[in-house]
Amino acid sequence: MGEATVKSLEGRTAATPSPMPDGGGVRARLRAPRSPRIWFEILLIGVSYWTYSLIRNAVPEQKAQALRNADWIWQAEDALGLAFEQTVNHAVNSVTWLIVSMNYYYATLHFVVTIGVLVWLYRWQPGRYAASRTVLFATTGVALVGYYLYPLAPPRLMNGQNFVDTVLVHHTWGSMASGNLKHMSNQYAAMPSMHIGWSLWCGLIIFALASAPWARVLGLLYPAATLVVIVATANHFWLDAVGGMMCLAFGFAVSYVWYGALPQGLPKLVEPAKPVARGGPDGPPPSSEADRDPAAEKVSSGM
């Protein structure tokens, strides 16, 4: 449509903005930090996790291929001189209180800490919430591709390697990967490790955004402890953790492209939206005697 023109009092032609929305402006509004809405976020997280679980568990298990891939991973780590998972698994399993604690850690903190960080962002860092949440969602989404393309058995399900399934041995509850709950989850979706992807997301977000030094230290310790737990419980190879890190890097890249900055580069708080005045961005039309232009009145009266 272009721009409409109007004649001013001096006879000059002035341009007025076209009423058609600017595509760049729409994108800028979508990218701009805004206050998250609690009902929308709860719905989004619930639907997204349900979809993730549905797709992850619907991927054909391909047991034979998953076991072959596990053998290849184990051989590759051995060639690198870094096949230490079995040693860690057996050593930690010999300390009952420690391995039981790790079993519960594996089953619960994966969800509890991630939700806790989301709540913290929502409440105290609303300007960075959407970008941080986008990182997490993109990370999880690309992990589904890994589950489909590279089925992988966890070490505890390998044939002939003598790994200890610590949940079965110590009869702890809560793990979707062992015991009575194992039929509810795809057992051959170990690559990439979302325990690492999510815990590292939590750790980096806390380290980058928290102000208390002790919180930043805990943020860094959390993914490190998670790495020890996934190896000690024989649920993952350390290379699965590398896969999780790569997925997280992808998630940060997606968020950066969309928002133009990493979460810590965005404002902590969201400025309230400015109300749009009636009559367009240039202000409301004159409606009272005081608002009228005297020169315009003289022109209209014939002067």
The tens digit of pLDDT for each residue in 205-231 reads 999 999 999 999 999 999 999 999 999
The answer to whether the beta carbons of residues 7 and 13 sit under 8 Å apart is yes
* Sequence-ordered alpha helix ranges (H) in 182-275: 194-209, 213-232, 238-259
Residue 189, beta-bridge partner list? 152
Residue 291 scores a pLDDT above 60: no
Supply the pTM of this predicted model: 0.76
**Terminal CA-to-CA distance of the chain, rounded, Å?**
35
pLDDT of residue 288: 47
> Which structure tokens are listed for 4?
């409409």
> Which structure tokens are listed for 292?
């009228």
CA proximity to 231, closest of 178, 159, 155, 151: 155
Peptide bond into 281 cis (omega under 30): no
Tokens 């390998």 belong to residue: 158
Q: Which band of pLDDT confidence, cut at 50, 70 and 90, is reported for residue 41?
A: confident
pLDDT of residue 186: 79
> Which structure tokens are listed for 173?
């509850």
